Structure 1
Amino acid sequence: MWRPSLIACALVAPLAVHAAAAAQQTAPHIERVDPALDALIAPEATVERVATGFSFTEGPLWHGNRLWFSDVSGDVLRSVDDAGRVEELIANAGGLANPPAGKSIGPNGLAPDRDGTVLMTQMGARRIVRIGADRRITPLITDYRGKRLNSPNDLVFAADGALWFTDPPFGLYNGMDRDPAKQLPYNAVFRYVGGTLTPVITDLKLPNGIGFSPDGETLYVTDYGPPGTIYAYKVGRNGALSGRRVLIAFPADGAGGADGLKIDRRGNVWATGPGGIRVISPEGKVLGRIVLPEVAANLAFAGDGHTLYITASTSVYRLQTKVAGVLPRYAR
């Protein structure tokens, strides 16, 4: 997911300004920390900007031969094709009737469901909804035992079909945890299966990105920070978690915090964080970093898994990879 600014309770605008200033100084490039990166990203690979001019991009999902992505502060769900042609899919996608300008109230994470529909988190409306083939929106998860969710952020289906999602307070724009509208006592990672919603993790400050290892036996969750941390959990029967360990504690060496992540088929974690996207081995070794002129918020593998799309501030970027990424469970 995305954190709305560099410091708590700040707005999106300063982040966009920072990114614009950085763009004058940094060209997209790949920093190779370990020779093992060459097996994942070819030495001659380059990062290209596919489209730009948005407010703050997030939640990328390859669906129907194009990339769907959220414009969080712009309150719009859009798509872009291989050629860079952009289409507006849903306006007012965050679900608030009168959304305040510049706040983190738009759509965010996206995930395909088994029936071909797409699930979307709405930060403003504080719920998870289903988008049908006709783009009509139907609420799916709105509360936990009668208490409204904070602002669902990122989501992923596990191998057993259970839906997992993070629920930080970023969409509570009147102070996040201090917002009078907050009803839950924690910022949880939830598991939803068979109509039952369960808070599985409740001790993280700002749970954000989420993903599973290829074998489904490890759950990765980011705690935003900044600079932030990625935790790894062993996944047991019926989603029981144990053995939490730190995969990486990010250094404070650039703008942004621990945000979205994805995993490749070899088990490496591709994670946004301060100063760019790090490629991290399952043991926690940083193999390299993708550096952009903007703050990277999230990423998604597309097509056959060898194309990586990155949502970063005002733009969408693309990189071809040698390793294939793990696609969403119900990808089409």
Structure 2
Amino acid sequence: MPFPLRAALLAATLLTAAPLAAQPPAPVAAPSIERIDPALDAIIAPGTPIERVATGFGFTEGPMWREGRLWFSDVTGDKMRAVSPDGMIEELVANSGGLPGAPLGKPIGSNGMAPAPDGTVLMAQMSGRRIAKIGKDGKPQPFITDYQGKRLNSPNDLVYDKGGALWFTDPPFGLINGMDKDPAKELPFNGVFRYADGKLTAVITDMTLPNGIGFSPDFRTLYVGNYGPDKYIRAYDVAPDGALSAPRILIRFAEPGEGPDGLKVDSAGNIWMTGPGGIRIVTPKGKILGQIKLPEVAANLAFAEDGRTVYIAGSSSIYRLRTKVKGMLPLYANAK
């Protein structure tokens, strides 16, 4: 979630207090679905409506379906919340970024989330600069804080592979005093990490702003988005031991505006990636099938419910639409 490039957008939508219920929707341009290739019809039925479920937040991110509701982060409001299918909001974690007294309006809150195999939830704490674990008491506890004795930058998005290893991106967006130029930055790179058997490994160190991350349905391909200045989604072959090879650019974003942020993959292997203009649905070969356009910046998305519902974190709002194909739900979505 690269806040510095979105400051003007967020200034108009910032909240300083958590709403107890969805705010009345304000008039906005209607969201739409652009069909670029006829193959999109097998993924999203023509005429599918896009609903705005809830609105009135600072900057939504990190959506994850859990126990019948969508959990999500309000990055600039420093809250983690949940929204029910009928739009009711509950605050789950205050000061979700993990830095007490952090200034509201900055990228300080939590970001990506993933259910863990033990039934807890892991979340990326941007200003706290760590991966935290949330147990049944709802209180975040530090889980991964440093690499080789140096503090992480600002964990952003995370996903498990089929062997139980945790992968996460670590850009500098939460370093609010200049990102890479922030004196508090300790690592010399913005990396992608793999955590397995108690060991943290830097698996990618040559991306400028690694952001969204996800796996193909067979877990043999890893996708990572680079927000900028060169905006692209990169694919890698993944070996059983987690070694990466054959890096290649799946798609570049030449348009001005937002770079690729969050991404998810459906059961047919299509990558749903946020970027300029909305969410693009792209085949594993890099062919664009269509685009979901919103009146706000789409930062991330999550497959939910039966796998055929997509929730989108769109700046101040949460949106929803139905699909014909199932999406990949988090690996440990049903862990208790």
1:283-298 equivalences under 5 Å are 283-298=285-300
| 2:192 equivalent to 1:189 | yes
1:143 is aligned to 146
| 2:282 equivalent to 1:280 | yes
Question: Separation in 1 of the partners of 2:2 and 2:99?
Answer: 19
Q: Which runs of 5+ in 1 are unaligned?
A: 7-11
Letter aligned with residue 14 of structure 1:
A
Change (3 A) 1:17 1:94: closer
Letter aligned with residue 308 of structure 1:
V
- How far 1:142 moved relative to its partner? 0.3
Question: Separation in 2 of the partners of 1:288 and 1:76?
Answer: 32
Q: Which runs of 5+ in 2 are unaligned?
A: 15-25
Question: Separation in 2 of the partners of 1:164 and 1:15?
Answer: 30
1:3 is aligned to 2
- How far 1:16 moved relative to its partner? 2.5
- How far 1:113 moved relative to its partner? 0.5
- How far 1:238 moved relative to its partner? 1.1
- Deviations along 1:210-268, one digit per CA (max 9) or x if unpaired, are 00000000000000015720000000131111111111101315x42210000000000
* Structural RMSD (CA): 1.5
Question: Separation in 1 of the partners of 2:135 and 2:146?
Answer: 21
Out of 10, 19, 38, which is 1:16 matched to? 10
Question: Separation in 1 of the partners of 2:13 and 2:136?
Answer: 35
Question: Separation in 1 of the partners of 2:244 and 2:93?
Answer: 36
- How far 1:13 moved relative to its partner? 3.9
Question: Separation in 2 of the partners of 1:101 and 1:55?
Answer: 9
My pick for the range that moved more, 146-155 or 220-229, is 220-229
- Deviations along 1:26-50, one digit per CA (max 9) or x if unpaired, are 3200000000000000002011100
Letter aligned with residue 55 of structure 1:
G
Contact 1:227/1:252 (8 A) holds in 2:
no
Letter aligned with residue 9 of structure 2:
L
Out of 159, 163, 182, which is 2:162 matched to? 159
Superposition TM-score, scaled by structure 2 size: 0.93
2:253 is aligned to 250
Letter aligned with residue 274 of structure 2:
T
| 2:68 equivalent to 1:65 | yes
Contact 2:115/2:121 (8 A) holds in 1:
yes
2:23 is aligned to none
Task: Give the number of equivalent residue pairs.
Answer: 323
**Would you identify which runs of 4 or more consecutive aligned residues in structure 1 move more than 4 Å?**
17-20
1:85 is aligned to 88
Contact 1:227/1:258 (8 A) holds in 2:
no
Change (3 A) 1:227 1:28: farther
| 2:172 equivalent to 1:169 | yes
Letter aligned with residue 32 of structure 2:
H
Contact 2:13/2:58 (8 A) holds in 1:
no
What secondary structure sits across from 2:200 in the alignment?
strand
Identity across matched positions, percent = 63
| 2:240 equivalent to 1:237 | yes
Out of 198, 208, 214, which is 2:201 matched to? 198
- Deviations along 1:107-147, one digit per CA (max 9) or x if unpaired, are 00000001111001100110001001110221100000110
